[in-house]
Amino acid sequence: MSPQVSFRQLQVFASVARLGTVSAAAEALSLSPSSTSQALADLERQLGVALFERPGRRLVLNELGRGLLPRAEALLDDMAGFVAAAREPEGELRGTLDVSASATVGTYLLPGLVGRFSEAHPRADLRLRLRNTHEVVGDVLRLEADLGLIEGECREPALVSEPWCEDRLVVVAAPGHPLASRGDLEDGDLAEAPWILREPGSGTREVFEQAMRDLGLTPRVRISLGQHEAIKQAVLAGLGLGCLSALSVAGERERGELVALDSRLVLCRTFSLVWHPERYRSPLWQAFKVFLVESRGDG
């Protein structure tokens, strides 16, 4: 009698192979550790071979396991495609997509894009969560988000990322600030002025601090805030200089409520798309990603 290998056993095999431990695979698959361990043991018993070396608590694929992993993943992809085809007749996109986005992207770019996509695909449910860049990476890494959009580059080696569109930060001040009439800030001004900045972990803060380090400067951070609007209000009140995306202060600059100041700071950055290579990329996921790439940040 040929071995009876189940879909669940293949899921467990692939997840343990990628994550390295039964406990991590169990969490990713929403199973108990005992059920995950049993499914792996059943698979090896059905096949009559060992697929892993077991040094300590980690499980490392042996040569046979490494050869079988691509086949297991292909079978899983085929099954996922079969289920997706059943749920999406005649090419209609439906289902739920969890998108985690950093504050600038999620506030000033995504709402318009999500609205246009949802209008074209009314059966699709896009759920957007606003976080800072560090938290977005964590969401994607823990498989709590299907897709992440962040400010800057992703340095997490377990994730896949690609550049999406360009952004520019600007230094802003209230019109009545003593430096507002200067137009151009000297390095001494940058070092001595009090700053109102995003919280540590945000992409905006990281780009600004790196630009200051490149000039050999350390900012005097007076207040750290988690929202663009709060920073703008503090800058408007004359509490210090701010550094925000040009997208977020376009209205205030046009109305003359904030003044942009030039300096030697290099404040260009890239917005990036981030995803987990082990998370299933449904037709809805693929369609939304293509839409984002084609839009290139045109909110």
C-alpha span between 232 and 170 (Å, rounded): 12
Q: Are 279 and 146 in contact (CB under 8 A)?
A: yes
**In the prediction, which pLDDT does 233 show?**
95
- Helical ranges in the chain per DSSP H: 7-19, 22-29, 33-47, 63-87, 103-108, 110-120, 133-141, 187-192, 203-214, 228-236, 250-254, 283-295
Is a pLDDT exceeding 70 seen at residue 213? yes
**In the prediction, which pLDDT does 86 show?**
54
What integer is the mean pLDDT of 165-184?
A: 91
Is a pLDDT exceeding 60 seen at residue 297? no
What integer is the mean pLDDT of 236-246?
A: 94
What is the residue type of 174? A
**In the prediction, which pLDDT does 100 show?**
96
C-alpha span between 152 and 269 (Å, rounded): 6
Tell me the pLDDT tens digit for each residue of 65-121.
Answer: 898 998 888 888 877 766 666 555 556 788 899 999 998 899 889 999 999 999 999
- Position with higher pLDDT, 6 vs 146: 146
**In the prediction, which pLDDT does 57 show?**
75
What integer is the mean pLDDT of 253-263?
A: 95
Mean pLDDT, rounded, of the chain:
89
**In the prediction, which pLDDT does 1 show?**
54
Paired strand residues for 124:
95
Direct distance between the N- and C-terminal alpha carbons of the chain, in angstroms, rounded to an integer: 59
Determine which of 25-34, 87-96, 225-234, 262-271 has the lowest per-residue pLDDT on average.
87-96
**In the prediction, which pLDDT does 104 show?**
87
Percent with pLDDT over 70 in the chain: 94
What integer is the mean pLDDT of 221-243?
A: 94
Q: What is the pTM of this model?
A: 0.61
**In the prediction, which pLDDT does 85 show?**
61
Is a pLDDT exceeding 80 seen at residue 211? yes
Q: Are 160 and 272 in contact (CB under 8 A)?
A: no
Q: How far is CA 76 from CA 39, 69, 207, 254, in A?
A: 16, 11, 40, 53
What integer is the mean pLDDT of 269-286?
A: 91
What integer is the mean pLDDT of 22-44?
A: 90
**In the prediction, which pLDDT does 74 show?**
85
Tell me the pLDDT tens digit for each residue of 132-156.
Answer: 899 999 999 999 999 999 988 888 9
Percent with pLDDT over 90 in the chain: 62
What integer is the mean pLDDT of 204-227?
A: 94
Return phi, psi of residue 161, to 5°.
-145, 160
Backbone torsion region of residue 112, taken as left when φ is above 0, otherwise alpha when ψ lies between -120 and 50, otherwise beta = alpha
